[in-house]
Amino acid sequence: MTADEVVAILDALEAAAIDAWLDGGWGVDALLEEQTRAHDDLDLVVALDDVPRLRDVLAGRGYEMLGGAPPESFELVDAAGRQIDIHPVTWAENGDGIYRMREGGTWPYPARGFGGRGTVASRPVRCLTAEIQVITHAGYELDENDRHDLARLSERFGTGRE
């Protein structure tokens, strides 16, 4: 997943009035305002209500369902093998984004996490804050990319988790 494709996807979603926040590796690099590693995919947090329009927009760019299904997370892939992981949320009264996990139960993206701003290829983007990026990297075995991302966040933002 290249920076140019990330920007093209975000531009297409914005044109359709769909708000999206970068999460995962591209979310970290957006906060750092530079690409620090190669990315296999693009993680997006979006409102569940926007998913039908999002799927239409991304289908127009050649993305098809790979796995999962709303209201839980799902993956889209195009003919070139580029993957987008969608994390749909519903909004709680306090502004938290409530994510329905595949294993059952829910997890709240804290409202304060949606205030992140960064850049990808000089384009301003919405992303989860450094604090919430660290929180989303908990509860599973970290791979080399995860450790890289956490170290960069710690160096730049003093998040304290490497």
Residues 87-127: tens digit of each pLDDT: 999 999 999 999 999 888 999 999 999 999 999 999 999 99
Neighbour-count burial of 136, counting CB atoms closer than 10 A to its CB (0-12 exposed, 13-18 middle, 19+ buried): buried
Neighbour-count burial of 12, counting CB atoms closer than 10 A to its CB (0-12 exposed, 13-18 middle, 19+ buried): middle
Residues, the chain, total? 162
pLDDT number for residue 48:
98
Contact by Cβ (8 Å): 31, 133? yes
Domains of the chain: 3-157 (3.30.460.40)
pLDDT number for residue 136:
87
- Ranges of residues in the chain whose predicted pLDDT is under 50: none
pLDDT number for residue 103:
86
Alpha carbon distance 161, 154 (integer Å): 6
Alpha carbon distance 80, 129 (integer Å): 30
Q: What is the pTM of this model?
A: 0.95
pLDDT number for residue 162:
57
pLDDT number for residue 96:
98
pLDDT number for residue 54:
98
Contact by Cβ (8 Å): 2, 115? no
Q: Which residues contact 71 (CB under 8 A, 6 or more apart)?
A: 48, 88, 90, 100
Tokens 């709240």 locate to 108
Tokens 């926007």 locate to 50
Alpha carbon distance 154, 160 (integer Å): 5
